[in-house]
Amino acid sequence: MRNLSTLIIIVLIVSCGKPKVSYLGQKTTGTSPELFAPYIVNTDSIELNAVFNNSMTEFFFTRIINGSFVIYHSELMDDQWTAPKAIPMFPETEMNTTAVDMSLTPDGNTMYFLGVLQENETFDASSDIYRSEKVNGKWQFAEKVGYPISTNEYSEAYPVIVADGSLYFVSDRPGGFGKQDIYRAQYLGGGKFDTPQSISSVVNTQLGSGDTYVAPDESYLISNKRFPENSGLYVSFKKDGEWQPLIYLKEPINSEWTDFCPYMTPDGKYFFFSRRYSNPPESGWAGVIKGEVYWVDANVIFNLNDK
């Protein structure tokens, strides 16, 4: 009995001394949004997005560097998170590029993202969906996901991979309910997808949809909506296979600024979103002066399903 007591004490001492590795080692937040990882993720630069792989051993976000949107990456190694470093998704070019709005496949070995690669100074590039593979522990240069996902004429944005490998994204292609709809493309295997379908007139409004996160089991989505009043993030829960009316996420999530890039951690405990400050406010990315990543207890979202 004495040996058992001694063993328990030793285990407790070792456990207490073990470094806290979840969420980049940050002290967890409550029901009021807080900046995530100040000085590591949030700096004097403009940052947005925040996603983990399913095992929560890799973390990704985007930072604007010299006019380009660049994906940054940190990895959990030997119970320590590495300092975030840029991942080059495109070969070097003198033109500005965009790599943003990342989503990881369940195995963590494929990343989908919104990409813009300007081929020359006169090319008016639209956004497309790109894909990068992780080979021998290193993320490779990305390739555009072909038709019927990416198109030459229209924009595709904010890809989200769900549990069965299917892809949700936002596009202004014709055939939807509004100016920009949320589409779902069933995964066929081998990196191929079926023809995308606009998901529902309940969540696809006439004025259009912005960044949209979809839960892995497709039980809810969180979407940025453009309304004359109360623009910002909304949640819709799925019941009996049907999307339910949108619920506005009031303060402290939606604010007078632009709240976007919704994302839920794989463990379902924390909701991440980004906040963009522009001067004047209506100037959008052209007048952006600050971008920050926030996180908050996920119950702020889930409790709305009981109302």
Confidence band of 169 (pLDDT split at 50, 70, 90) = very high
Average pLDDT over residues 168-189: 94
* Average pLDDT score over residue span 166-179: 93
To the nearest whole number, what is the mean pLDDT of the chain? 89
Instruction: Decide if pLDDT at 171 tops 70.
Output: yes
What CATH number should be reported for the domain holding residue 191? 2.120.10.30
pLDDT at residue 283 in the model:
87
Q: Indicate whether 251 belongs to any domain.
A: yes
Does a structural domain hold residue 171? yes
User: Total structural domains in the chain?
Assistant: 1
Q: Report the percentage of the chain scoring pLDDT > 70.
A: 90
Residue 123 is predicted with a pLDDT of 40
Greater pLDDT, 13 or 291: 291
Pairing mode of beta strands 220-225, 209-214: antiparallel
Is the pLDDT assigned to residue 13 strictly greater than 60? Answer: no
Q: Which residues form the domain of 101?
A: 41-306
Question: Which residue, chain included where needed, has tokens 């030459």?
Answer: 152
Q: Who contacts 99 (Cβ-Cβ below 8 Å, separation ≥6)? A: 62, 69, 70, 71, 87, 89, 90, 113, 114, 115, 130, 142
Q: Is the dihedral of CA 249, 253, 256, 258 positive or negative?
A: negative
In a domain, 84, yes or no: yes
Residue 28 lies in a domain: no
Whether 11 shows a pLDDT value over 60: the answer reads no
- What is the per-residue pLDDT across 68-81, written as a single tens digit (0 to 9) for each? 999 999 999 999 99
Where do we find the tokens 């909701």?
271
Give the predicted TM-score (pTM) of the model. Answer: 0.90
> 11 lies in a domain?
no
- Answer yes or no: is pLDDT of 10 > 60: no
Q: What is the mean pLDDT of residues 142-155?
A: 95
Could you identify the residue written with the tokens 């402290």? 252
Residue 57 lies in a domain: yes
Asked, for residue 61, whether it belongs to a domain, the answer is: yes
- In a domain, residue 229? The reply is yes
- What is the Cα–Cα distance from 299 to 219, expressed in whole angstroms? 15
39: tokens are 């000085």
Rounded to an integer, the average pLDDT of 270-298 is 94
